[in-house]
C-alpha cells in the first residue's frame, strides 16, 4: 500500500491520537505516527503542538524515521526555538555516528535550522565533519558552511571555517571539490567587500580542471563558473585551460554547455585573433550552440538569448549557421522573435537572398506581433546590407500592395529609415506611400509619413493639403505626431514660403498657445523665434542635411556587452541586464568584465592596466544612437556643419542658471559658429578679468592643479569619456581635458561652448583635438580660457555649464571652476 493513505481526512481528536502513537513502545507504530504528522504538516495543518513528542523519536537507529523527524524539525524549529535546543544533543551524537549517511544528515539538518541558539552548537560537529574520512560527509559539510555564513558571517570567519573550505579545494574527491567551489562562490556573492575570498592560482586551477571530468553536471557548472572568474597570467595558460574545458561542449546538459562557452568566450579575448588556435576554437563553438536549439522551447529561448550576446561579440562563430535560426511553424512567439533578431544580426551579402525570402514569408503569417517584427526586419536588412537595399525596398513595396493595415504601417516606418540611410535614391516610391495615407492610425506610422512629406515637400505637389489634413485633429494626436507635424510644416514653409504662411502660423499658434505639452511649446517657440528673427538661419538649421543612419541601432553598449558575456548561463544573460539591475543587495558587488583583448603583437600583460576601452573590437559594427536620442535631430541639425550648440542647463543643475532662449544670446549663438571669434577679440590679458581677481594672483602665480575628475562618463557620452581640471600657468588659465574614445567608431568634429557663468569664462580659442579620435585612443588637450565673456550669477557660484559636440551627438555637463582656496604663489 502506498503512503497516500496518510493524506486522507481523519476524524476529530487527531492530535491526541497522534500524541499517543508517537509515545508508543512499538517502533512500527511510532514510524507510522511520524508519517501522519509529516503528511498533516505537508497539507498545511498546524502540528507544532506535537514538537516534544516528535523530538523524542530522534533516538532511533532507523534512518527513514530519523529523516522524517529531521524534516519536522527544520519546519518548526524557528517557531519553537527553545524546544529545538532539546534536539542539540542528538545532533551532536549523530555527527559521530558510524553510519556516514546519518553523520551527513545531522550536519545538513543543523545547517538548515536557522536558529541562533542552535548555531552556537553547530561549530564543533561541523569542524569534525569537514575533516571526515567519508567524502559524502565532507561534501555535505562544505555546503553547510555556506548556510552557516548566511546566518552568521562573523562566526564563520572567527571559527576558521573559510580556511577549511579552501583546503577542500585540494580534496581527492571531485564532488567535495565541486561543493567547496559552490560554497565559496555563494559566500563570495554574499560578501559586501566585493573582494574574492580565494585568490585562484595555477595550482588551484589545475585541481579544479582535474575534478571537472569526474563530478556531476551541477558540480561541473560550479567549477566552470569559478574558472570564468580566473584571469590567466598569459596566453599559453589560457590556451591550456581552453583545451581542457572544450570537451564540456559535448555535454548533454545545457547548463554545462553554456558555462563552458562562457569560459571559452572570456579566454578568447586573451589570444591573438589571427592565431590558428582561435580559428579552431571558434569552429568548435558553433555545433553545441546549434544543438541547444533542438531542445524544448524554454531551453531554446534561454539559448537564443545567450546566442544573441555571443553573435554581437563574435559574429564569426555562427556566420554559416543561418538556416538553424529560420522560424518553424510550431515555435512559440517568444522563440520566433528571438530567432528573427539573430537572423538580422547574421545577415550579410552572402545570405541576404534567403533571409529576405524567409522574412517575406513571415510577413504573411497570422501572428500580428511576429508580422510587424518581420516587416521591420526587412528594413533593418536594407540599412545593414547596402548592396541589397534595392531588393529590400522592392520587397517592402510588394508588402504594401497587400493593403494589410498593420503591414503597411510597419513598412512606412522602416521606409522612413531607409530614406535617411540612402537620401535621393528611392524617393520615387513616395506616391505609393501617399496612397495609403488614410489607413494610418498608429502614432509611429503617422509620424513617419509626416516626416517623409515634410522632408520631400518640394516633390509632393499637394504637400500642404496633406499636412493640413493632419492639422485638423492636432490636439487629439499623439505627442510624437504633433512634434513631427510641427517640424514638417516649418520645413514646408521654408521650401514654399509663398503659399504656406497661413499654415505655419496656424501650427505655431496651436503648439505655443493651445498646447499643455512643454516639449511641443518649447519647439514651437524656438521655431517662431528663428523664423521671426532670421529666416536664413532657420533654413540652415531646419533644412540641414541629416546624419545618415548607419548599421544597427540596437546593439548593446560595448562595456555592458562585455559584462553580460561574463554572465552567460545566468539570468543576466536572459534579461540582458547586469545582476545589479535586478538582484537586491548587488549594488556594491564587484562588476565582472572581460580581460583586455589581445592584439596580434604583444602579450596580455602589456594591457593589464587597460580599462574597458581595450575590450572593443575594431571589426565590430559601430553602435549608432537611434534618431530619437540625438538632440541635434530635434531641430534636424547637421552634425557635419560648423558647430551650433544650444547650451541648455542639464537636469542636475539648478534652473536658476538657465539660458535666455529669446535674448540676444540666442541671436549671436545662431549667427556665429563656435570659435568664430579670434583670440584678439578677447584681449591679450586673459587673466585680468573677473576670474583673475577671484584667484587673486599676479603674473608670477602658479595655481595648484587639482586632480582631473570625470566630467562626462562614457555611458552618458555614448562612448566618449571626458575628464578634466582647471590650471594656471604664467598667468594663463587653462581647461586641461583628457578625451578617451570607448566607442566602436572614430570621434571627430569636436567643438565646445560655455554657458553664461559667474566669472564670464569663455574659450580663448576654438577647441583643437587631433581628428579622428580612434577607438581606444586617449588624447590630452589644454584649452586656454579668458574671463571676458557674459556674466550671469550661478548657483552654486563656481558652477560652469559646458556643451561638447562631436560627430555623434551633443552632450551637456556641469563642472566646478577651482578658485582661491586651491592656489599657491611661486617664490622668485
Please, what sign has the CA dihedral across residues 629, 632, 637, 639?
negative
CA distance 219 to 235: 27
The DSSP secondary structure of 609-654, one letter per residue, reads T--GGGG--TTSPP-PPPGGG-GGGGGT--TTSS--------TTS-
pLDDT of the residue at 667: 40
Give dist(CA 40, CA 43) in Å, integer.
5
Task: Please name which of 257, 345, 305, 762 lies closest in space to residue 551, comparing C-alpha atoms.
Answer: 345
**Residue 745 and residue 558 in contact, taking contact as beta carbons nearer than 8 Å:** no
The secondary structure element, H or E, covering residue 76 is helix 63-76
Contact (Cβ atoms closer than 8 angstroms) between residue 693 and residue 775: no
Rounded Cα distance, 555 and 313, in Å: 10
Type and span of the H or E element at 427: none
pLDDT at 625: 42
Chain-centroid distance of CA 189 in Å reads 20
Phi, psi at 222, each rounded to 5°: -65, -40
Per-residue pLDDT at 632 = 37
d(CA 393, CA 426): 8
- Residue 109 CB contacts under 8 Å (≥ 6 apart), including other chains: 70, 73, 74, 91
* Distance of alpha carbon 292 from the chain centroid: 24
Residue with cell 604663489: 825
Q: How many CB atoms lie within 10 A of CB 690?
A: 16
Q: How far apart (Å, rounded) are the C-alpha atoms in residues 290 and 285?
A: 9
Write the pLDDT tens digit of every residue in 752-793.
Answer: 999 888 888 999 999 888 878 888 889 999 999 988 888 888
**C-alpha–C-alpha distance, residues 393 and 429, integer Å:** 9
CA nearest neighbour of 801 among 767, 769, 761, 747: 761
Q: What is the CA radius of gyration of the chain?
A: 35
For residue 803, how many other CB atoms are within 10 A of its CB? 21
* SS3 state of residue 685: coil
In the sheet with 720-729, reading across from the earlier edge strand, the strands are: 709-712, 720-729, 732-741, 778-786, 762-763
Residue 499 CA to residue 128 CA, distance in Å, equals: 94
Residues in the chain with pLDDT values less than 70: 1-13, 192-196, 198, 548, 550-554, 585-591, 596-704, 819-828
Q: Which of 543, 824, 601 is nearest to 701 (CA)?
A: 824
Taking a C-beta distance cutoff of 8 angstroms, is the pair 739, 721 a contact? yes
Per-residue model confidence (pLDDT) at position 119: 77
Contact 645, 751 (CB under 8 A): yes
- Backbone CA torsion sign across 591, 596, 597, 603: negative
Run of H or E residues at 739: strand 732-741
Strand partners, 791: 757
Quote the CA–CA distance of 700 and 398 in Å, as a whole number.
Answer: 76
- pLDDT value, residue 779: 92
Q: Which residue has the cell 559636440?
A: 805
C-alpha distances (whole Å) from 617 to each of 280, 478, 611, 620, 774 are 19, 41, 14, 6, 12
φ, ψ at 811 (rounded to 5°):
-125, 140
* pLDDT the model gives residue 304: 94
Count other Cβ atoms within 10 Å, centred on residue 734: 20
Nearest CA among 232, 308, 303, 298 for reference residue 264: 232
Amino acid at each position: 500500500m502506498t503512503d497516500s493513505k496518510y493524506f486522507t481526512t481523519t476524524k476529530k481528536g487527531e492530535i491526541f491520537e497522534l500524541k499517543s502513537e508517537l509515545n508508543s513502545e512499538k517502533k512500527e507504530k511510532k514510524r507510522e505516527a511520524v508519517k501522519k504528522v509529516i503528511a498533516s504538516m505537508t497539507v498545511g495543518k498546524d502540528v507544532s503542538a506535537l514538537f516534544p513528542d516528535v523530538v523524542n523519536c530522534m533516538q532511533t537507529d532507523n534512518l527513514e524515521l530519523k529523516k522524517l523527524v529531521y524534516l519536522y524539525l527544520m519546519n518548526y524549529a524557528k517557531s519553537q526555538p527553545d524546544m529545538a535546543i532539546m534536539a542539540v544533543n542528538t545532533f551532536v551524537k549523530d555527527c559521530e555516528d558510524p553510519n556516514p549517511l546519518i553523520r551527513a544528515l545531522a550536519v545538513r539538518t543543523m545547517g538548515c535550522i536557522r536558529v541562533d541558539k542552535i548555531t552556537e552548537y553547530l561549530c564543533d560537529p561541523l569542524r569534525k565533519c569537514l575533516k571526515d574520512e567519508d567524502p559524502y560527509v565532507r561534501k555535505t559539510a562544505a555546503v553547510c558552511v555556506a548556510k552557516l555564513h548566511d546566518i552568521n558571517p562573523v562566526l564563520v570567519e572567527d571559527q576558521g571555517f573559510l580556511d577549511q573550505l579552501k583546503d577542500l579545494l585540494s580534496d581527492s574527491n571531485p564532488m567535495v571539490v565541486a561543493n567547496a567551489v559552490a560554497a565559496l562562490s555563494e559566500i563570495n556573492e554574499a560578501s559586501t567587500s566585493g573582494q574574492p575570498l580565494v585568490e585562484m592560482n595555477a595550482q588551484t586551477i589545475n585541481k579544479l580542471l582535474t575534478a571537472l571530468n569526474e563530478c556531476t553536471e551541477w558540480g561541473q557548472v560550479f567549477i566552470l563558473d569559478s574558472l570564468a572568474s580566473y584571469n590567466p597570467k598569459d596566453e599559453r595558460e589560457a590556451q591550456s585551460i581552453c583545451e581542457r574545458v572544450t570537451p564540456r561542449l559535448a555535454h548533454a546538459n545545457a547548463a554545462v554547455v553554456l558555462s563552458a562557452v562562457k569560459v571559452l568566450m572570456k579566454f578568447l579575448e586573451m589570444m591573438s585573433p589571427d592565431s590558428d588556435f582561435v580559428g579552431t576554437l571558434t569552429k568548435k563553438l558553433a555545433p553545441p550552440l546549434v544543438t541547444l536549439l533542438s531542445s524544448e522551447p524554454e531551453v531554446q529561448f534561454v539559448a537564443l538569448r545567450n546566442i544573441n550576446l555571443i553573435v554581437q561579440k563574435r559574429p564569426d562563430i555562427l556566420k554559416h549557421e543561418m538556416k538553424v535560426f529560420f522560424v518553424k511553424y510550431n515555435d512559440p512567439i517568444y522563440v520566433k522573435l528571438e530567432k528573427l533578431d539573430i537572423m538580422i544580426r547574421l545577415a550579410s551579402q552572402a545570405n541576404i537572398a534567403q533571409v529576405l525570402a524567409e522574412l517575406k514569408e513571415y510577413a504573411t503569417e497570422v501572428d500580428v506581433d511576429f508580422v510587424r517584427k518581420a516587416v521591420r526586419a526587412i528594413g533593418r536588412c536594407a540599412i545593414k546590407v547596402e548592396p541589397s537595399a534595392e531588393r529590400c525596398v522592392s520587397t517592402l513595396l510588394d508588402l504594401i500592395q497587400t493593403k494589410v493595415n498593420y503591414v503597411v504601417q510597419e513598412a512606412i516606418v522602416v521606409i522612413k529609415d531607409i530614406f535617411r540611410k540612402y537620401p535621393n535614391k528611392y524617393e520615387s516610391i513616395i506616391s505609393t506611400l501617399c496612397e495609403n495615407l488614410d489607413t494610418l492610425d498608429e502614432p509611429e506610422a503617422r509620424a513617419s509619413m509626416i516626416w517623409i512629406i515634410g522632408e520631400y515637400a518640394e516633390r509632393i505637389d499637394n504637400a500642404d493639403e496633406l499636412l493640413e489634413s493632419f492639422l485638423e485633429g492636432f490636439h487629439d494626436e499623439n505627442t510624437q505626431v504633433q512634434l513631427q507635424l510641427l517640424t514638417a510644416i516649418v520645413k514646408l514653409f521654408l521650401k514654399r514660403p509663398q503659399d504656406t504662411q497661413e499654415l505655419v502660423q496656424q501650427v505655431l499658434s496651436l503648439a505655443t498657445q493651445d498646447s499643455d505639452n512643454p516639449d511641443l511649446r518649447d519647439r514651437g517657440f524656438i521655431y517662431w523665434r528663428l523664423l521671426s528673427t532670421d529666416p536664413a538661419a532657420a533654413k540652415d538649421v531646419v533644412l540641414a542635411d541629416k546624419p545618415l543612419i548607419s548599421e544597427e541601432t540596437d546593439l548593446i553598449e560595448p562595456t555592458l556587452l562585455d559584462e553580460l558575456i561574463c554572465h552567460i548561463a545566468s539570468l543576466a544573460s536572459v534579461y540582458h541586464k547586469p545582476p545589479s539591475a535586478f538582484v537586491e543587495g548587488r549594488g556594491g558587488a564587484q562588476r565582472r568584465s572581460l580581460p583586455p583583448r589581445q592584439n596580434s603583437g604583444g602579450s596580455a600583460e602589456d594591457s593589464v592596466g587597460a580599462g574597458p576601452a581595450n575590450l572593443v573590437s575594431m571589426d565590430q559594427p559601430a553602435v549608432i544612437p537611434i534618431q530619437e536620442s540625438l538632440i541635434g535631430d530635434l531641430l534636424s541639425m547637421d552634425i557635419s556643419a560648423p558647430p551650433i550648440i544650444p547650451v541648455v542647463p542639464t537636469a542636475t543643475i539648478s534652473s536658476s542658471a538657465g539660458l535666455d532662449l529669446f535674448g540676444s544670446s540666442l541671436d549671436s549663438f545662431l549667427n556665429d559658429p563656435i570659435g568664430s571669434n579670434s583670440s584678439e577679440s578677447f584681449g591679450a590679458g586673459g587673466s585680468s578679468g573677473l576670474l583673475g581677481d577671484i584667484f587673486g594672483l599676479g603674473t608670477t602665480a602658479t595655481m595648484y592643479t587639482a586632480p582631473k575628475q570625470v566630467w562626462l562618463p562614457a555611458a552618458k557620452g555614448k562612448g566618449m569619456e571626458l575628464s578634466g581640471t582647471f590650471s594656471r600657468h604664467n598667468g594663463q588659465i587653462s581647461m586641461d581635458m583628457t578625451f578617451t574614445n570607448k566607442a566602436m567608431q572614430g570621434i571627430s568634429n569636436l567643438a565646445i561652448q560655455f554657458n553664461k557663468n559667474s566669472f564670464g569664462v569663455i574659450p580663448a580659442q576654438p577647441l583643437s583635438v587631433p581628428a579622428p579620435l580612434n577607438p581606444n585612443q586617449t588624447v590630452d588637450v589644454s584649452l586656454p580660457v579668458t574671463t571676458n565673456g557674459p556674466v550671469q550669477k550661478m548657483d552654486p557660484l563656481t558652477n560652469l555649464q559646458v556643451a561638447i559636440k562631436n560627430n555623434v551627438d551633443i552632450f551637456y555637463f556641469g563642472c566646478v571652476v577651482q578658485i582661491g582656496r586651491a592656489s599657491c604663489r611661486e617664490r622668485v
